[in-house]
Structure 1
Amino acid sequence: MGMGLLEAGDFAQATIPLAKAARLAPEEGSIREALGRALFRSSQYAEAAEQFEAIVERYPVDDYAHFCLGRALSLSGRPERARHHLALASNLRPERRDYRIYRDRLRRAS
């Protein structure tokens, strides 16, 4: 249900079943990623960062989780930590142009 809402673009509503699923299976990275995406897309950046932080702790080489964590941290007013995670994402997947763009934008903004 949560994934369907997320895919349909109903991000705020998707957070409800996804948060419940994350509480029931906190070790499931895919659920936390979906919840983080829903929170991010509904402008709940600090809460999204918490979900991506949990993924990074469990899967430290997950480039997408580092990227999303960096974006969420940046938008929640924590640019120092954001730079670190955006740099990690860029180093883990140097072919990802989007990672480099956000990393470089944040560097220039400092």
Structure 2
Amino acid sequence: MDLLEEYRRANFFFESGDPLGAAKLLEPIVEAEPHNTAVRQLLARAYFNSAQLSRAETQLRALIEHDPSDHYAHHVLGRTLERAGRFREALPHLRLAVAMKQQTDYQEALRRVEAWLGKSAAE
């Protein structure tokens, strides 16, 4: 199997709106190259976009374990946990992402989770 060609195909599937197809192509690549962060990140995004949240979480935690300063992995893990309704678990990852990199989408996700937690604490 030509891993680079498969990665390119997976990226095409992902960009074309087929995250499930991308994930199927990426899974064996991650298995063959477990330390390839670009492939693992794309697989995590494919899982997130296809609502396979526990699988996305597994990939994102592996990325963070490999590189704790990966702001994007923290952000997407926070979003994954938010999407799963696990707001308290999402909060530290979203805060870390914002602290590491000032980006509007990072800040918006953090505000959303903080607002939700503020409302739930008041109830």
Q: For the superposition of Structure 1 and Structure 2, which TM-score range results when normalised by the shorter chain?
A: over 0.9
Residue-pair matches, total: 109
TM-score by length of 2: 0.84
Q: Are 1:107 and 2:114 counterparts? A: yes
| Equivalent position of 1:3 in the other structure | 11
1:1-110 alignment runs, 5 A limit = 1-93=9-101, 95-110=102-117
In the alignment, the residues of structure 1 paired with residue 104 and residue 89 of structure 2 have an alpha-carbon distance, to the nearest angstrom, of: 20
Q: State the 1:34 CA deviation.
A: 0.3
In the alignment, the residues of structure 2 paired with residue 2 and residue 106 of structure 1 have an alpha-carbon distance, to the nearest angstrom, of: 31
Q: State the 1:44 CA deviation.
A: 0.9
Q: State the 1:4 CA deviation.
A: 1.5
Q: State the 1:106 CA deviation.
A: 0.2
Q: CA RMSD in A?
A: 0.9
The unaligned stretches of length 5 or more in structure 1 are: none
In the alignment, the residues of structure 2 paired with residue 81 and residue 105 of structure 1 have an alpha-carbon distance, to the nearest angstrom, of: 14
In the alignment, the residues of structure 1 paired with residue 114 and residue 29 of structure 2 have an alpha-carbon distance, to the nearest angstrom, of: 36
Q: Could you report, residue by residue, the CA deviation over 1:81-100 in whole angstroms, capped at 9, with x for unpaired residues?
A: 2111000000001x211101
Q: State the 1:59 CA deviation.
A: 0.9
In the alignment, the residues of structure 2 paired with residue 107 and residue 88 of structure 1 have an alpha-carbon distance, to the nearest angstrom, of: 14
Runs of 4+ residues over 4 Å off in structure 1: none
Q: Could you report, residue by residue, the CA deviation over 1:8-38 in whole angstroms, capped at 9, with x for unpaired residues?
A: 1111111101111111111111111000111
Q: State the 1:3 CA deviation.
A: 1.4
What percentage of residue pairs aligned between the two structures are identical?
A: 33
TM-score by length of 1: 0.94
Letter in 2 for 1:67: H
In the alignment, the residues of structure 1 paired with residue 89 and residue 32 of structure 2 have an alpha-carbon distance, to the nearest angstrom, of: 29
SS at match of 1:88: helix
In the alignment, the residues of structure 2 paired with residue 52 and residue 80 of structure 1 have an alpha-carbon distance, to the nearest angstrom, of: 17
